[in-house]
Structure 1
Amino acid sequence: MVRARAWTYDGTGLAWLQERLGRSGTGPGHVVSELVPSGFEAYLRIFHRFEAVDGSGRTRRWQTWAVEGGIAFHSELSHLSLPDVHGAAGERVWQTEEGALDGRSRGALARLLAGMTGDQDVYFAYDLAALSWGEEGPLVRRSRLADVESVREEVKGRVGSDGPEFWWPQDRSWVVTTDCDLLSTYVGCSNETAERILGDDELEALPVTSRTRVDWYADRRQGFRSVLR
């Protein structure tokens, strides 16, 4: 999550975005405003799809898993609140990625946003990953939205296989943020774009607000009831 940076953003492609990020304030944990800039009509959480570790290609959605376990599917749901991810023999059966929206969901999101963005260029940026990998400043690439996988492959040797941490179009009409420590991606966008994302069968998403908790223990604070039964 939020850490002390070893650089400033003046003159970088991330300067505008960092100026509009908030902080967690006095409350516990971390919130959406630390990840996604202010000023958007709508904010969403996109859950990273679980995949079977046996290589079968099987996937599992958070909502299905939650309902099967009698857990409320809500905007602050933590993977720690889901039923055990291990099989009868104790082996791990399902996994999902920190810091990277799964490829299937990433492709679906890129295609959907392309319909809203048209031909304008899109920026793909790495911040904490660049810092962690010893870069001298944020790493920003400008390309077409359809090139997200090519950009990921190009920078993998410099910042790893996560991310992009931030992507946004030239008109800044939306921002996608995937923090390196989280199992969900957050989006700031227009109401129209939000409706399209929420209605897409390939994406598992819920509306959030700028104050929605995003950390692993979001729904484990005292007094919060996530269990349906």
Structure 2
Amino acid sequence: MSPLRHEIDVRPAQAVAALLDATGERVTSVIPPGYEAYIRVLNPIQFRDGSVVSWTDAVLRSGVEPRAWMQWPELVAVDDVVLPDGGVEPDMGGPPVARATHLIEALRPDSGVHYFASWAGYATEISEPYVAFSPYQHEMVLYSGRLIDDGGAPLVPTTATGRVPMYWWPSDHRWLVGQDIHARSLIVGCTQTVARTILESEHLDAYPISSSDNVRGEEF
């Protein structure tokens, strides 16, 4: 885990917000346009003992064809999908620590400072200064920190409340991770090379998507 530094100078967050599509609910409203590839990474179904199962595995075991934009409420409502006994619905607004670790490994960040944004509305979260991010104009607080230690091992970013932030990006914007506060998945904008690494990871439940796809709300 890597505690983050709260930033008063919000210009790095303003730079990201200015790139987001302010109208509609497309992928480019969450992640800026212009990346070679866009990926949706699904948070796993969790069990009380700490183990997890991916959405894809659960759907395939039920004989149903998985798809990139499958939604948790839809899976619960489909008679043909048999969800694992004792499984708990995926977290909203942030990935589990283990999945965040594997995503960091796939992103291959350098040892420099990265930026992070977390919703100001979380209980006990720092609330200002903030920058409004589309598509819902949520008030986002800026943090900074590292994603790998001196030995290259992943450092999972956390705010003072212990939350993994909703947005992560390096200063050069070569990739960007983002999500809505109610999302049970992450969206990543990146190069084709990084996209292949994410899609080929046995630890990440990920699908290629298009920048023009609509992002449906997951707070049913």
Q: Shorter-chain TM-score: which interval? A: 0.7 to 0.9
User: Is 1:56 the equivalent of 2:55?
Assistant: no
- Name 2:100's counterpart in structure 1: 106
1:62 maps to a residue whose letter is: W
Query: 1:75 aligned to 2:68?
Result: yes
Please tell me the residue identity of whatever aligns with 1:46.
V
Map of 1:16 onto structure 2: 15
* TM superposition outliers: structure 1 runs of 4+ over 4 Å: 84-87, 131-134, 147-151
TM-score (norm 1): 0.73
Q: Identity of aligned pairs, percent?
A: 24
With over 3 angstroms needed to count, the CA separation of the structure-2 counterparts of 1:209 and 1:56, relative to structure 1, is same
Q: Partners of 2:194 and 2:95 in 1: how far apart?
A: 18
Q: Within 2, Cα distance between the matches of 1:11 and 1:104? A: 29
CA contact (8 A) 1:45 1:75 kept: yes
How far, CA to CA, are the matches of 2:33 and 2:121 in structure 1? 24
Specify which structure has the higher proportion of strand.
2
Match of 1:93?
A: 87
Secondary structure, aligned partner of 2:213 = coil
Distance 1:109 1:150 in 2: 10
Return the alpha-carbon distance in structure 1 between the equivalents of residues 63 and 155 of structure 2: 37
Residues 165 and 177 in structure 1, CA contact (< 8 A), matched pair in contact too: yes
Question: What displacement does 1:11 show?
Answer: 5.1
For 1:43-76, what per-residue CA distance to the aligned partner results, in whole angstroms no more than 9, with x for missing partners? 0000001111xx2223111111112233321111
Tell me the equivalent position of 1:145: 147
Deviation at 1:33, TM superposition (A): 1.4
Query: How far apart, CA to CA, are the structure 2 residues paired with 1:186 and 1:102?
Result: 15
The within-5 A match list for 1:1-229 is: 12-25=11-24, 30-52=25-47, 55-82=48-75, 83=81, 85=83, 87=85, 93-114=87-108, 117-126=109-118, 129-131=119-121, 133=125, 135-138=127-130, 139-146=141-148, 151-152=157-158, 154-156=159-161, 161-216=162-217
Structure 1, unpaired ranges of 5+: 1-9, 218-229
More helix by share: 1
Q: CA deviation at 1:137?
A: 2.0
Q: CA RMSD in A?
A: 2.4
Contact 1:182–1:215 (8 Å) recurs in 2: no
Conserved? CA contact 1:43–1:189, under 8 Å:
yes
Q: CA deviation at 1:15?
A: 1.1
- How far has the Cα of 1:205 moved from its partner? 0.5
- How many residues align structurally? 189
Which structure has the larger Rg over C-alpha atoms? 1
